[in-house]
Amino acid sequence: MSEPTFTLDGDDVPFTEGQTILQAALGARRYVPYLCFHKDFKPHGSCKVCTVKVNGHHAAGCTTPARAGDVVESQTEELTELRRDLVQFLFTEGNHFCPSCEQSGRCTLQAVGYELGVTQGHYNPLFPTRPLDASHPDVLLELNRCILCELCVRASAQVDRKHVFALSGRGLTKHLVVNAESGRLGDTDLAVEDKAMKVCPVGAILRKRRGFTVPIGERTFDKAPISQVLVAPHEED
Amino acid sequence: MDRDLSAILARHHHDGGRLVQILRDVMAVAGHISPGAITRVAEALALPRGHVEGVAGFYSFFATEPRGRYRVRFSDNVTDQMAGSRALAQRMLDAFRIELGEVSRDGLVSVGLTSCTGLCDQGPAMLVNDHAIARLTPARIGAITSLIRGGSPVAQWPDNLFRIDSHIRRRDLLLGAPFAAGDGVAAALARGAADVRLQIEQSGLRGRGGAGFSTATKWAACAAAPGPVRHVVCNADEGEPGTFKDRELLAHHLDLVLDGMTVAAVAVGATHGLLYLRGEYPFLIAPIQAALADRRARGLLGRDVGGARGFDFDIELHVGAGAYVCGEESALLESLEGKRGIPRNRPPYPVTHGYRQQPTVVNNVETLAAAALIAVHGGAWFRAVGTPRSAGTKILSVSGDVERPGVYEVPFGTAVRDVLAEAGALDVQAVQVGGPSGTLLAGSELGRRIAFEDVPSAGAVMVFDRTRDILGVVDNFARFFAHESCGFCTPCRVGTTLNHHLMARVCAGKGSRRDVDDLVRVSRLMKAASHCGLGTTAGNPVLDALAKFRPAFDARVASEPGPAFDLDEALAPAREATARDDAGAHLDPEAP
Amino acid sequence: MKPDVPEPRKKLRVATTSLAGCFGCHMSLLDIDERLIPLLELIELDASPLTDKKHVGPCDLGIIEGGVCNADNVHVLRAFRQQCKILVAMGACAVNGGLPAQRNHLDVRDCLQTVYLTGLGVERGFIPNDPELPLPLAQVHPLHDVVKIDYFLPGCPPSADAIWSFLNDLIAGRTPQLGHGLIHYD
């Protein structure tokens, strides 16, 4: 029996039972832009950047189960425009000053912005006041850059079993909190070896004393666009 | 506090699933949930501290910083505003010399706003600690201000302050039928599960919460789902602004609702029921608990319900804490499990993976009330009323510019015009049917009918006469959605706030055509990409108003965009620091 | 190297300025090196740090570096908007406030007090209040918070190649498209 398939922008994409559209697409080395998805975690679908059209209806590619025969659209002008707006929403919501960010050049938000041709600047920035937490000896928590993807929350709970990170507030006041009465990262048991340290797609959770190690021009997304990096045969972990 | 906390935790059996209830009790005792209390609760429940902090930070009735000993919240629905709520709030703020959201220096009182409290037929309304007060007037505000100054506990204030009136103006199938506690249970037990489901199917009953999903399909799927325990959840989180019909059903037809839950339990084989009551209805808590106790005493809950050997079913009351999104059924389940009210991903659906991942039916108060009567009278009785695709009646909550605000039960298919005539609406400019997430009708559309196939509605009908500013109405709704977005997904979290800012700018006469274009753009994006119904409907008022009242927008906006902020205001801090007030220390917002 | 465009009928009049910026974007513009020569065959400069003209006149294209941090920036930006048919926000600061906007979570009163009154080593200080001095705004804003901006060219600074490609497109009447390598936020 042959594998079931759906079509993605007209091409057949095979999938295995239980895979979502995004998982199957990446498995077939087809890039669909995303931010909150990570192959090691169950998709939860909050950033919506992977929104596709399934049989004409919008759906998050990462959480929508792949179904044989479905017609999925992704690389259309309409969806690119929608994704551009979502990326701009994230820039508008936080304080993203790329020139002074240690993650610049390796940042997924930035790279997806480049991929989609976002020059920023459509909406009025909200300039929120967010704290910077340098209390941990080895880790800097820079919430101005947090895009609320919850990957650190998931990694700390599911892999590290430490529950260092959680979310509080709601709506635009939703924010990352740490598992300490003082509210300080230094009072949690986060360690640099933790999975939670390795999943932040932006520059919100950083190892101290490790900034700007790769020269400009040689950083991950200087060398190739994210659409190539993410579906390359040997994806970095 | 430590002893209080221990008592609270013991009362809830140290069950982390009851976290929202536990934190409600902490609020009642301490006035806020301190960092220390969060740590204590987390340790006692063996939950990560961050989880408890996250829940404490999610619900708007929870405060993690000290509030006043008297926590006043004015209902801020557009109908409250039309009845003068903002001026009354200002009167109280002036009396205590505080700003909105501020705590008085002596810690006595804080005054804020809250989303619709479901007293639109007798607004303006407010909540003080755990008590609702309706029909606010300057005189009542004066009395309340004195009582707060006097320092007596709210529970000891004069009873007449807390009186909630009933305004059932039109009765039909549900509200007019004679019914005694247990009638539905007896009928359902006599019919058996399969026949109850058959009658529900033949009745054509569809969910009354707004979405209109077939109740029979939902019940059949739950009944067929494997699992040792099934649950029936009554969604009484009536949060849609302008809706208060569930309040009346629970206050005056409670047995119909509780019988309905038990009928559902028969139909799906459930042993456990949960009634999720919105936190804005504190006056219903004691009556519901008394009714549950009474039903247990009469064998209508507990073991061998209705005398049927082996049919065990009981109902637990959960109370919300100020979160509109919890009206969404999967967010409601999360809240029932003591979590942040974030809508789940589907599939799987609640019918197979609901409360604690077990098969669950979640039904609206009115749906369950209808089910109780269908069990008694049969599906055909119900089917005979309404339209082919919308069987039965709909209970509407009518408020705003009408002479007789209140609850009207009308057959599906009734024209909006006929409802308005009965309620005494004059000079109608617009009607918001189904609340902010519903449909804005222009005065020329009043021939449209209340029906799933025409104008669907969870029950709200808010009427605006020609003196009202439609943009102000839309602005109120935009603010509501920004306040109530759960923040899970990007489009809704950011989009609702952008829309709120854009509408405020347009209303203030500082907007441009580009802002209007952005309102459309953001609204469409939210509709296309949001995670749940809150986000997909949050742009409706903007899109409807732009389709039907475009000239009202055009008259208010400039052709070219101006500054996104108040330029002269932005110089105020520097003026203060330099003590300058010369011409160069100001900026003209009108300059090109 | 010549831009791949047909010869325009008349030279495009271009003005540039730096508001709350560091002139780094202007330096990057000069970094297009020998391509300046063909560029100057296509454009003529109005007000710009590169000319002596102080006040902007009617122009086809205005290019602005830096964000809006004080009252003077607002006046200059408004004058540019009034005089220029097309207005471009060049560089990170013009696009989203950039480095100067990192003061936005601070109260400008506290900033002035710390710098001029209470800061380490300040003696007999006073907060300058000469009417000639532009007052700082409460927050630093990107250009599009104040006027309509037609195009955005991000980068800190945008590279010479990005500026060249961008101008080339604009002069030829094409919507600028920056592909991989040219679009940068840093």
- For chain B, the structural domain boundaries read 2-56, 70-157, 169-383, 393-467, 471-554
- Cα pseudo-dihedral B513, B536, B323, B131, rounded to 10: 70
Residue B50: which of A44, A85, A178 has the nearest Cβ? A178
Q: What is the β-pairing status of strands B70-75 and B272-277?
A: unpaired
Size of interface A-B (CB pairs under 8 A): 121
C103 — contact with chain A (CB < 8 Å)?
A: no
Write down the residue that tokens 């969910």 correspond to. Answer: B207
Q: What is the mean pLDDT of chain B?
A: 96
Give φ, ψ of B315 to 5 degrees.
-125, 135
Place of tokens 């899109």: B543
Which residue's structure tokens are 């990107």? C142
For the stretch B382-400, pLDDT in tens is 999 999 999 999 999 999 9
If one compares A233 and B493, the residue with the highest pLDDT of the two is B493
How many whole angstroms separate alpha carbon B532 and alpha carbon B143? Answer: 43
Q: Encode pLDDT of C141-166 as tens digits.
A: 999 999 999 999 999 999 999 999 99
Give the minimum alpha-carbon distance from B321 to chain A in angstroms, rounded to a whole number. 13
Interface test with C, best of A106, A114, A132 (most C CBs within 10 A): A114
Please list, in sequence order, all residues whose beta carbon lies within 8 angstroms of the beta carbon of residue B575, skipping any fewer than 6 positions away.
B581, B585, C135
Q: Please give the helix or strand (H or E) that residue A81 lies within, else none.
A: helix A77-93
- The H-or-E segment that residue B483 falls in is helix B470-484
Q: What is the pLDDT of residues C94-139, one digit of tens each?
A: 999 999 999 999 999 999 999 999 988 888 899 999 999 999 999 9
Residues present in chain A in total: 237
B223 CB-near residues (< 8 Å, 6+ apart): B193, B197, B230, B267, B268, B269
- As a whole-number percent, the residues of chain B with pLDDT over 90 amount to 96
The verdict on A53 touching B (C-beta cutoff 8 Å) is no
**Test mutation, A44, A168, A175, A202, chain B, max B CBs within 10 A:** A168
DSSP 3-state of A101: coil
| Residue whose C-alpha is closest to residue B132's, from B333, B285, B358 | B285
Instruction: Classify domain B70-157 at the CATH topology level.
Output: Glutaredoxin (3.40.30)
Two structure tokens written together for A40:
């090691």
Q: How far apart are CA C58 and CA C86, in angstroms?
A: 11
d(CA B522, CA B494): 9
Strand ranges (DSSP E) for B382-485? 393-400, 406-411, 428-433, 439-442, 460-465
Reported as type and span, the H/E element at residue B553 is helix B550-554
* Residue A52: closest C-alpha in chain B: B529
Predicted complex ipTM: 0.97
| Chain A: closest CA distance from residue C5 (Å) | 23
pLDDT digits (tens, 9 = 90+) for B307-325: 999 999 999 999 999 999 9
Question: Shortest CA distance to A100 belongs to which of A212, A205, A194, A180?
Answer: A212
What lies within 8 Å, CB to CB, of A193 at 6+ separation is none
Instruction: Indicate whether B341 pLDDT > 80.
Output: yes
Burial A178-213 (b: 16+ CB within 10 A, else e): bbbeeeebbebebeeebbbbbbbbbbbbbeeeeeee
Q: What is the pLDDT of residue C50?
A: 87
**Which chain C residues contact residue A124 at CB under 8 A?**
144-145
Token pair recorded at residue B495: 């989009």
Which chain C residues have a beta carbon less than 8 Å from that of A120?
95-96, 152, 154, 185
Shortest distance between the Cα of B36 and any Cα of chain C, in A, equals 28
Nearest C-alpha in A relative to C180: A225
Residue at A50: amino acid letter: C
Question: What pLDDT is recorded for position B457?
Answer: 86
Residue A236 has pLDDT above 50, yes or no: no
Q: What is the CATH number of domain B393-467?
A: 3.10.20.600
Are the C-beta atoms of A202 and A98 separated by less than 8 Å? no
Shortest distance, CA A107 to any CA of chain C (angstroms): 11
pLDDT (0 to 100) of residue B589: 75
Name which of A14, A45, A13, A29 is nearest A151 in CA terms.
A45
A57 CB-contact burial (10 Å; exposed 0-12 / middle 13-18 / buried 19+): exposed
Q: Confirm if B246 and B402 have CB atoms less than 8 A apart.
A: no
Count the neighbouring beta carbons within 10 Å of the beta carbon of residue C177: 11
Mean pLDDT over the full length of chain A: 95
Q: How far is A171 from chain B (nearest CA, A)?
A: 4
3-state secondary structure at position B24: helix
**B581 contacts in C (CB within 8 Å)?**
none
Which fold does the domain A7-75 belong to in CATH?
A: Ubiquitin-like (UB roll) (3.10.20)
Give the CA angle between residues B115, B117, B119 to the nearest 5°.
140
Residue B17 backbone phi and psi in degrees, to 5? -65, -15
C53 backbone φψ class: left, alpha, beta (φ>0; ψ -120 to 50)? beta
Structure-block tokens of residue B29:
């005792």
Tokens of A5: 């398939």
Window 53-92 of C, Cβ < 8 Å to A: 89, 92
- How large is the average pLDDT for residues B39-48? 97
Those residues whose C-beta lies under 8 Å from the C-beta of residue B543, and which sit 6 or more positions away, are: B520, B523, B524, B527
Nearest residue on chain C to B567, alpha-carbon basis: C137
Tokens of B383: 């089917």
Residues of B in contact with A47 (CB under 8 A): 489-490
Enter the tokens of residue B288. 């519901």
| C75-98 pLDDT per residue, tens | 999 999 999 999 999 999 999 999
Token code pair at residue C81? 């908007």
Q: Where are the domains of chain C?
A: 12-171
d(CA C150, CA C86): 6
The verdict on A19 touching B (C-beta cutoff 8 Å) is no
Of C102, C105, C181, which has the smallest distance from its Cβ to A97's Cβ? C102
Is any Cβ of chain A less than 8 angstroms from the Cβ of C181? yes
Q: What local confidence, expressed as pLDDT, does residue A235 receive?
A: 45
Span B172-223, pLDDT tens digits: 999 999 999 999 999 999 999 999 999 999 999 999 987 899 999 999 999 9
Q: 């260092």: which residue's tokens?
A: A164
List chain B residues with CB under 8 Å of A172.
482, 485, 487, 493-494, 496-497
Q: Provide CATH 3.30.70.20 ranges for chain A.
A: 82-209+225-229
Backbone angles phi, psi at B16, to 5 degrees: -60, -25
Question: Which of A82, A165, A183 is closest, CB to CB, to B525?
Answer: A82
pLDDT for position C54: 86
What architecture (CATH level 2) is domain A82-209+225-229? 2-Layer Sandwich (3.30)
* B360 three-class SS: strand
* B272-277 and B231-236 beta bridge pairing: parallel
* Residue spans in chain A of domains classed CATH 3.10.20.740: 7-75
Q: Cα C134–C136–C137 angle (5° rounding)? A: 125
Say how far apart CA C97 and CA C94 lie, in whole Å. Answer: 6
Percent of chain A surpassing pLDDT 70: 97
| A208: amino acid identity, one letter | K
Q: With a cut of 80, say whether residue B591 has pLDDT above it.
A: no
Give the model confidence (pLDDT) of A188-216 as tens digits.
Answer: 999 999 999 999 999 999 999 988 889 99
| Closest CB from C145, C154, C181 relative to A120 | C154
Mean pLDDT of the A112-136 span? 94
Which member of A105, A121, A130 has the closest CB to residue C96?
A121
Question: Searching chain B, which residue's CA lies closest to the CA of residue A178?
Answer: B50
A212 touches chain C (CB under 8 A): no
Domain B471-554, CATH: 1.20.1440.230
Confirm if B366 and B238 have CB atoms less than 8 A apart.
no
- Interchain pair C78, B563: CB under 8 A: no
Q: How far apart are CA B19 and CA B52, in angstroms?
A: 8
Determine whether the interchain pair A119/C98 forms a contact, defined as Cβ–Cβ distance below 8 Å: no
C-beta atoms surrounding B166 within 10 Å: 12
Distance of alpha carbon C68 from alpha carbon C61, whole angstroms: 19
- CB of A50 within 8 Å of a chain B CB? The answer is no
Cα–Cα separations (whole angstroms), residue C153 to A86, B256, C96, C144, C150: 19, 65, 11, 13, 10
Secondary structure (3-state) at A214: coil
- Put simply, whether A178 touches B (Cβ < 8 Å) is yes
Tell me which residue of C92, C28, C181, C178 sits closest to A217, measured CA to CA.
C181
**Would the CB atoms of A120 and C177 count as touching at under 8 Å?**
no
Separation of CA A154 from chain center: 13
For residues B90 and B141, is the Cβ–Cβ distance under 8 A?
A: no
Contacts of B237 (CB under 8 A, 6+ apart): B276, B277, B278, B320, B326, B327, B332
The CA R_g of chain B, rounded to the nearest whole Å, is: 25
Left, alpha or beta for B430 (phi > 0: left; psi -120 to 50: alpha)? beta
The confidence band for C5, taking pLDDT boundaries of 50, 70 and 90, is low
Closest-CA distance of chain C to residue A207, Å: 20
Query: What's the burial of B106, exposed, middle or buried (CB within 10 Å: 0-12/13-18/19+)?
Result: exposed
Is A97 in contact with C96 (Cβ distance < 8 A)?
Answer: yes
For C155, name the nearest residue in chain A, comparing CA atoms only: A99
Tokens 């110089």 correspond to B571
Contacts of B7 (CB under 8 A, 6+ apart): none
> Contact B580/C112, CB-based, under 8 Å?
no
Domain boundaries B169-383, corresponding CATH code = 3.40.50.11540
pLDDT tens per residue across span C17-56: 999 999 999 999 999 999 999 999 999 999 999 888 889 9
Amino acid in position B178: P
CB contact under 8 A, B584 and C132: yes
Structure tokens at B186: 């007896």
Closest Cβ opposite residue B592 in set C82, C108, C134: C82
Element (H, E) at B246: helix B245-252
Structure-token pair, residue B104: 């008085």
Q: What is the pLDDT of residues B22-34, one digit of tens each?
A: 999 999 999 999 9
- List the one residue out of A100, B434, A223 whose CA is nearest residue C185: A100
Distances (CA, A) of A79 to A50, B411, B583, C179: 9, 42, 49, 19
Q: Which chains touch A (3 or more CB pairs under 8 A)?
A: B, C
| Residue C50 dihedral angles phi and psi, to the nearest 5° | -90, -10
Q: Which CATH architecture has domain C12-171?
A: 3-Layer(aba) Sandwich (3.40)
CA-based nearest residue in chain B for residue A50: B529
